[in-house]
Amino acid sequence: MTNLKFDSQGRFIGVDQQIQKFEHMGVKPNQNLKTSSDLEFLKDSQVLQNIYERDYWSLYEQDKSLRPLRFSNGKTQEDVVKEIVSLIEKGKKVIFLHGVCGTGKSAIALNIARSIGRASIIVPVKALQKQYEADYMGKKYVLKKGKKMKIAMITGRDNHDSIIKPGKSCADPFLPDTIKITEKNREHIKRYYQDNPYISNQGIPQLSSLKRISIAPSNPYWSPILPAKLDIRHFKDAEQHSFTGINGQEYIFYHRKKGCSYYDQYLAYFTADIIIFNSAKYLAEVSLGRKPQTEVEIIDECDEFLDSFSNNTEINLTRLESSLRSLVPERDETDARIKKIRQLINLEEVNKRAIGVDENQIFPLKETKIGEIISLLSSDPELEAEIQLDEMNYANQVLEAARDFLQSKDETFLTYRKEDDFLYAKLVNINLAKKFKEITDGSKSLVLMSGTLHSPEVLKHIYGIEDYALVEAETLNQGSMEISRVGNEFDCRYANLQSNPESRERYLKIFDKIIENSEKPALIHVNAFSDLPSEEESQLYNLKNVVTREELRKLQLEDKHNERILRFKEGKILSLFTTKCSRGMDFPGNMCLSVIFTKFPNPNVKDTFWKILQKIHPDYYWELYRDKARREFLQRLYRAIRSKHDHVFVLSPDIRVLNAVRKLQENEW
């Protein structure tokens, strides 16, 4: 058997006999996909001379030691690290770090990990994850005992080269570990079944009785993570790495073959000093219990992280019923449970066909059959194992949601909607304190960092957080801002626009004039696609400078790698319309001279969460509403004010934006 071959840059160029079976045609490699050679934490780090090693600070750039920043309150980054580490060592479990732009919170996070031990760092968006990678896995680095700290990024399948189909990502829908087990894929499935090294019987069974484990092993890199309590007879040839999950349960990573970065990245659970997750992946791993225990969880942009607890979870019931058909358990009891879940889904669909669907009607979860479905789905270890073995099965997403809502059924509500032939249930839990407690109970210590923390009242009333320490880093906002007006700005709240039919035209024409008059480059924060004109409105009102909502949707959908944002930063685009730069993107200096808001970024009160919160907890509703709006406004504004030398003009057709800037200038907000 031929060995794998790589070129001088570590790119895959050769395959063994088994892998060649997957190459049906020449595929142009996607250079943006990772391979195992990109996983820096797997590389041996040479011992570097570090005669000046300090207990609470280390940061180098191209072998030059960087001194910690000093803040306006007299503290340094090193002082902040020492203060937080001291609090953790004294037993304080929850610590908030308040630091505005210029604090260097990421460097503080790495040095906390350096002092405390293995750490998980959680960031709200993939862009921030990539920023850590760019900043601290290249020219800059942190030393611990003379060696560079090993930092690992846990990312999704679409970021990694599949190896068996070079140039195709691990999310490709025709791989053995991702392909849908249906009649139309019979020929692929037949070949994968015959290539399974664990199967001696080459007779192809009925598709309805095939499991993922019957075909996935034909990909030699497929390496599942499963609860240790499960008796898995396969994978005797795999390297078995055990670890303790966040809930104390033991898991085993069955690493069958090295070489695929998607599966190799999970070696970080055992070898990396720091594991960096985006919040969606982190919360998924927490829900499944698979997130490995570390000495400290450090949450960057923690207000965004906590806000995400209120996100709706939508379940496609029709798709779930179809996905459950592909599960073939060994125990009759589990098979009966699957049939019961499918029967309950069918009853829901029959009921909604008979009485119709009112998307505005809110139901308590416990009064619907969805509550019973969630209980059945998450209370059978064999069923959970069957689902987890088939990573791409839609039931995995529902299992994650089921575990989230199982312990909060009394505080969970839902709405239904119908689209085409699919029935959806949107679940919302308003007990955000229970979710935070779940993370706290499974963690040894939590450090939550942001320049825009929730108010103490919101932390107490909404998240149940009262016992915590607050550490202050830099608290003075950087740079300066200047209001720029065209003269016709007005209050653009929803009620005003709805009450006067002419307000929409007025709003769009002012917005168009603002874009035309603004100093370029200009960053335009689009609060909602409906803030932009339709193609019909653009023609009707002769708008020359504002993109249409259809155009922006198309631009962002096609821009998989944020190339528009990069071109804006390089000065190749003078006006960047975006719904994606609220956080995680920085535009310092001359990259951005104007920040434009379509409207003041109030929360969407039509969202189910806000409807239910207002109904169940009216006293806390406005408290959270105003707090979130304030934080979102500041985050968007300070994307372009990153140092004391930065200056931007602020513009908006909405007078509420300009009034908020004035309050900031007068230190009233």
Give residue 10's pLDDT band: very low, low, confident or very high (50, 70, 90). very low
Residue pair 401/288 in contact (Cβ under 8 Å)? The answer is no
Return the HEC string of 614-663. HHHCHHHHHHHHHHHHHHHHHHHHCCCCCCCCCEEEEECCEHHHHHHHHH
The residues near 468 (Cβ < 8 Å, ≥ 6 apart) are 92, 94, 95, 96, 459
pLDDT single digits (tens) 111-168: 999 999 999 999 988 778 888 888 888 889 999 988 999 999 999 999 999 999 999 9
pLDDT for residue 9 is more than 60? no
Q: Which of 25-39, 251-265, 382-396, 569-583 bottoms out in mean pLDDT, i.e. has the lowest?
A: 25-39
The residues near 604 (Cβ < 8 Å, ≥ 6 apart) are 528, 610
Give residue 6's pLDDT band: very low, low, confident or very high (50, 70, 90). very low
pLDDT for residue 16 is more than 60? no
Range among 369-378, 393-402, 408-417, 443-452 with highest mean pLDDT value: 443-452
Q: Percent helix, strand, coil in the chain (nearest 5)?
A: 40, 15, 40
Q: What angle do CA 218, 43, 217 make, to 5 degrees?
A: 10
pLDDT single digits (tens) 411-467: 899 999 999 899 999 999 999 999 999 999 999 999 999 999 999 999 999 999 999
Closest CA relative to residue 510, chosen from 610, 655, 314, 637: 655
pLDDT single digits (tens) 235-275: 878 999 999 998 889 999 999 999 999 999 999 999 999 99
Amino acid identity at 273: D
The residues near 165 (Cβ < 8 Å, ≥ 6 apart) are 22, 23, 27, 172, 174, 175
Q: What percent of the chain has pLDDT over 90?
A: 70
pLDDT for residue 659 is more than 90? yes
Give residue 31's pLDDT band: very low, low, confident or very high (50, 70, 90). low
Mapping DSSP to helix (H, G, I), strand (E, B) and coil, where does residue 578 land? strand
pTM of the model: 0.88
Q: What is the overall mean pLDDT for the chain?
A: 90
534 vs 235, more confident = 534
- CB neighbour class for 392 (10 Å; exposed up to 12, middle 13-18, buried from 19): middle
Give residue 27's pLDDT band: very low, low, confident or very high (50, 70, 90). very low
Q: How far apart are CA 649 and CA 518, in angstroms?
A: 8
Range among 284-288, 559-563, 657-661 with highest mean pLDDT value: 657-661
pLDDT at 502: 92
Q: How far apart are CA 264 and CA 241, in angstroms?
A: 12
pLDDT for residue 29 is more than 60? no
pLDDT at 49: 63
| Residue carrying structure tokens 């300090």 | 54
pLDDT for residue 503 is more than 90? yes
Give the rounded distance of the alpha carbon of 526 from its chain centre: 20
Residue pair 253/269 in contact (Cβ under 8 Å)? The answer is yes
What are the residue ranges of CATH 3.40.50.300 in the chain? 480-665
Q: How far apart are CA 480 and CA 320, in angstroms?
A: 52
CATH number for the domain running over 480-665: 3.40.50.300
| Residue carrying structure tokens 């007006």 | 485
